[in-house]
Each structure stands twice: as structure tokens, then as C-alpha cells.
Amino acid sequence: MSEDTIFGKIIRGEAQADIVYEDDQCMAFRDLYPAAPTHILVIPRKPIPRLCDATAEDQALLGHLMLTANKIAEQEGLGDKFRLVVNNGEGAGQSVFHLHLHIIGGRALKWPPG
Ligand code: AMP
């Protein structure tokens, strides 16, 4: 269950995180194992395990997560040079089954990713 992930614990205040932003729908904190100088995770308070589990009911929430990522990128001084990543499913590298957007920036980013 998504509620039982480490991110669920962070939302409930049961686990520590370096929180950079929060509102009634989402929160954002620094990745514990950063892949770039700036690496922040944006997560909904609602426990959606994977992007593919989101439904039409989540449309506004998903938009909010992306616009919040924009705001955080600006706050972090990333300008227009950052990447948003959603790993969907174990085969795509997802390791925490609570939906999250990675904001990655602060270094040159190559394409395609591995
Ligand atoms: P993913 O592999 O897409 O599921 O991403 C999960 C991310 O969560 C990884 O980048 C981990 O480094 C990060 N992570 C795992 N545990 C924590 C934690 N307690 N606090 C912050 N980030 C974490």
C-alpha cells in the first residue's frame, strides 16, 4: 500500500525529510541520494502508487504537481534548465510506490536518459 511507503511516513511526519515546499495537496523534499546538485521529489498527499494508477479524478492534482515543480525549480534558481522524471513501475526504475516527480537540475543533462 502506498500509505505504508517511506513517502507516506514523511507525509504523516513519522519520518524526517528536508522539506522545501508543502501545501494542502502535495509536498516536496530533497532526494536522500541526489543524482544531481538539485534533486527534489514532489509527491501528492494522496497515496497514488504509480502514475498509471491515476484516474480522471486526479487530473487537477497531476497538473498541480507539475506547476508546483515549476515553482520549486524557480525557487531553486534552476531557471529553464531542469528535468522532470516520473519512473512508472519497477521495470522503469520505480523503487518507492507513492507517485513522485523528480526535479533534477544544476548540471548538464544528457538525452536520452539510461
Ligand atoms: P524512484 O526510483 O523513481 O522510485 O525514486 C525514489 C527516490 O526516492 C530515489 O531517488 C531515492 O533516492 C529517494 N528516496 C528514498 N528514500 C528517501 C527518503 N527517505 N528521503 C528522500 N528521498 C528518498
Atom of ligand 1 nearest to the CA of 30: 21
Instruction: Indicate the domain borders of the chain.
Output: 6-105
Strands 82-85 and 38-44: unpaired
Please state the separation of Cα 43 from the chain's center in Å. Answer: 5
3-class secondary structure, 61: helix
Examine the residue annotation and report whether 39 is marked as an active-site residue of this protein. Answer: no
Cβ–ligand 1 contact at 93 (below 6 Å): yes
Tens digits of per-residue pLDDT, 59-105?
Answer: 999 999 999 999 999 999 999 999 999 999 999 999 999 999 999 99
DSSP 14: S
pLDDT at 114: 72
Q: What CATH architecture is 6-105?
A: 2-Layer Sandwich (3.30)
Tens digits of per-residue pLDDT, 23-58?
Answer: 999 999 999 999 999 999 999 999 999 999 999 999
- Number of other residues whose CB lies within 10 A of the CB of residue 51: 17
DSSP H stretches of helix in 3-114: 6-11, 59-75
pLDDT at 72: 98
Tens digits of per-residue pLDDT, 1-19?
Answer: 556 999 999 999 999 999 9
- Which residues are registered as beta bridge partners of 105? 38, 82
